[in-house]
């Protein structure tokens, strides 16, 4: 409680007259973690979710530029996110600091695709850094297939053709993790990697998904009868 | 008899003989390495499932198959120890390879290195999809003792929910070894 009080002391609540004077475009989410269940209001011009309540406005920081978009906001957050991602240990849990951070960034926008596009941009910017790409794939694994669809499949597909065998291996594990019909179609359409151990892994995954798809098909036919 | 040892392929593929990356991949607990025994009486995937159920999350695994004769030839000893895996009937299939010093660890790393050169025949790759399907099957057969209310089993509960949506709903009231949510 003490920490929260300090935060509000730093950013005192706005008075009703001040709230009326703040233009939607002049608002930027400062700390979305204060989301308290108040129904947020979408500002489609900037892509930023804002709230009408004064409680929400206390957590916003006024910015001078009027055309501040969510895309710019995400770009501003990039160094912080990259730092978090590089230090994260994804081996034990699906809920960690990086996934929580990203979920909050995603909650803050009305255009959910902004975050997908941002992740694709991050991949392209850091594609020479194998460790970064592996961490990015491990992070995507923590979310459901539909959460970042279709970008998640695009990124995994790109990573299967990355120059590093380790990245390829991580991408194949991610495809196996999803193990759905989209992945099966993707594997059918693409050639297996040339490196023998990766080829072995690729064929094992493809074979396993083929069997899984057949079981699903059988079941669909049985239930349909 | 074959001994299945889980390996991280990225630490063995393309590496030289006794390269540090490979040797240090063999993490010991109390100077012992955990392995699973395959004597032909169970399926290979049973060993994979028994292992993965000791972990928090489901993930694809690669195992190298070590013939016990190779260990005997290098004077490496086994110490029988049952596993705490929830897959009840697989618990006695677990054992440990004793590696009291780095000398024994390097002997074992040497054996795995040689075997890995022919990984098509000496390694078994268990996909996550296969492990999930087998988990669903064995759970429905009441072969797994598990409490889905426990916080450490939430990921496994998610897997079962996912499998039920595609492979049919399990009647948990008939499973005496399962505490359902």
Indicate yes or no: CB of A209 within 8 angstroms of CB of B132.
Answer: no
Query: Are A59 and A30 in contact, with CB atoms under 8 Å apart?
Result: yes
Q: Which of B136, B46, B53 is nearest to A215 (CA)?
A: B136
Give me the pLDDT at residue B41, please. 95
Burial profile B136-158: b = 16 or more Cβ within 10 angstroms, e = fewer: bebbbeebbbbebeeeebeebbe
Q: Whole-prediction pTM value?
A: 0.82
Q: What is the mean pLDDT of chain B?
A: 94
Q: What percent of chain A lies above the pLDDT cut of 70?
A: 67
Q: What percent of chain A lies above the pLDDT cut of 90?
A: 42
Tell me the nearest-neighbour CA distance from B121 into chain A, angstroms. Answer: 10
Which pair of tokens denotes residue B5? 């040892």
Query: Are A57 and A14 in contact, with CB atoms under 8 Å apart?
Result: yes
Q: What is the number of alpha carbons within 13 Å of residue A107 lying toward its C-beta? A: 17
Give the tens place of pLDDT for each residue, B1-53.
999 999 999 999 999 999 999 999 999 999 999 999 999 999 999 999 999 99
Q: In chain B, what residues touch A200 (CB-CB under 8 Å)?
A: 119-120, 123, 125
Q: In chain B, what residues touch A93 (CB-CB under 8 Å)?
A: 56-57
Q: What CA–CA distance (Å, rounded) separates B138 from B180?
A: 15
Indicate yes or no: CB of A215 within 8 angstroms of CB of B59.
Answer: no
> What is the mean pLDDT of the segment spanning A33-59?
46
Predicted confidence band at A44 (pLDDT cuts at 50, 70, 90)?
A: low
Which residue in chain B has the smallest CA separation from A169?
Answer: B10
Q: In chain A, what residues touch B60 (CB-CB under 8 Å)?
A: 173, 176-177, 201, 205
Query: Are A50 and A60 in contact, with CB atoms under 8 Å apart?
Result: yes
Between chain A and chain B, how many beta carbons pairs sit less than 8 Å apart? 62
Query: Are B146 and B178 in contact, with CB atoms under 8 Å apart?
Result: yes
Query: Are A129 and A120 in contact, with CB atoms under 8 Å apart?
Result: no
> Mapping DSSP to helix (H, G, I), strand (E, B) and coil, where does residue B30 land?
coil
Alpha-carbon distances of B110 from A10, B23, B82, rounded to whole Å: 61, 9, 26
Strand B146-147, strand B178-179: pairing? parallel
Domain ranges of chain A: 2-62, 70-224
Domain ranges of chain B: 2-126, 128-170
Query: Are A43 and A24 in contact, with CB atoms under 8 Å apart?
Result: yes
Q: In chain B, what residues touch A193 (CB-CB under 8 Å)?
A: none
Q: What CA–CA distance (Å, rounded) separates A104 from A111?
A: 13
């Amino acid at each position: 409680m003490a920490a929260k009080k300090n935060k509000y002391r730093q950013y005192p609540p706005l008075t009703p007259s001040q709230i009326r004077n703040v233009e939607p475009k002049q608002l930027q989410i400062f700390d979305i973690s204060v989301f308290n269940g108040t129904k947020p209001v979408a500002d489609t011009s900037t892509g930023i979710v804002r709230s009408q309540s004064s409680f929400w406005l206390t957590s916003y920081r006024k910015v001078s530029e009027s055309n501040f978009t969510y895309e710019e906001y995400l770009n501003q957050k990039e160094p912080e996110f990259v730092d978090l991602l590089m230090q994260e240990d994804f081996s034990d849990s699906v809920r960690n600091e990086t996934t929580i951070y990203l979920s909050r960034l995603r909650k803050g926008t009305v255009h959910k695709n902004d975050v997908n596009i941002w992740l694709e941009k991050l991949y392209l910017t850091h594609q020479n850094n194998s460790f970064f790409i592996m961490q990015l794939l491990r992070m995507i694994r923590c979310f459901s297939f539909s959460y970042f669809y279709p970008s998640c499949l695009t990124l995994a597909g790109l990573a299967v053709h990355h120059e590093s065998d380790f990245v390829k291996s991580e991408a194949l594990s991610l495809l196996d993790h999803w193990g759905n019909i989209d992945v099966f179609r993707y594997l059918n359409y693409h050639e297996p990697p040339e490196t023998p151990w990766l080829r072995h892994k690729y064929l094992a995954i493809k074979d396993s998904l083929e069997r899984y798809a057949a079981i699903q098909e059988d079941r669909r036919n049985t239930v349909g009868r | 008899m074959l001994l299945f040892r889980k390996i991280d392929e990225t630490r063995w593929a393309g590496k030289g003989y006794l390269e540090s990356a490979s040797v240090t991949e063999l993490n010991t607990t109390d100077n012992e390495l955990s392995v699973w025994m395959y004597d032909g009486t169970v399926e290979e995937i049973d060993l994979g499932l028994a292992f993965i159920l000791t972990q928090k999350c489901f993930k694809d695994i690669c195992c190298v198959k070590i013939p016990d004769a190779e260990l005997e030839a290098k004077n490496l000893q086994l110490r029988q120890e049952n596993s705490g895996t929830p897959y009840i009937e697989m618990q006695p299939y677990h054992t440990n390879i004793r590696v009291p010093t780095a000398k024994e660890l390097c002997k074992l790393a040497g054996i795995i290195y040689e075997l890995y050169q022919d990984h098509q025949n000496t390694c078994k790759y268990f996909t996550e999809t296969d492990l999930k399907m087998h988990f669903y099957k064995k759970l429905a057969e009441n072969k797994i003792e598990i409490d889905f209310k426990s916080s450490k089993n939430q990921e496994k509960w998610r897997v079962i929910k996912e499998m039920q949506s595609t492979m049919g709903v399990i009647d948990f009231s008939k499973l005496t070894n399962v505490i359902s949510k």
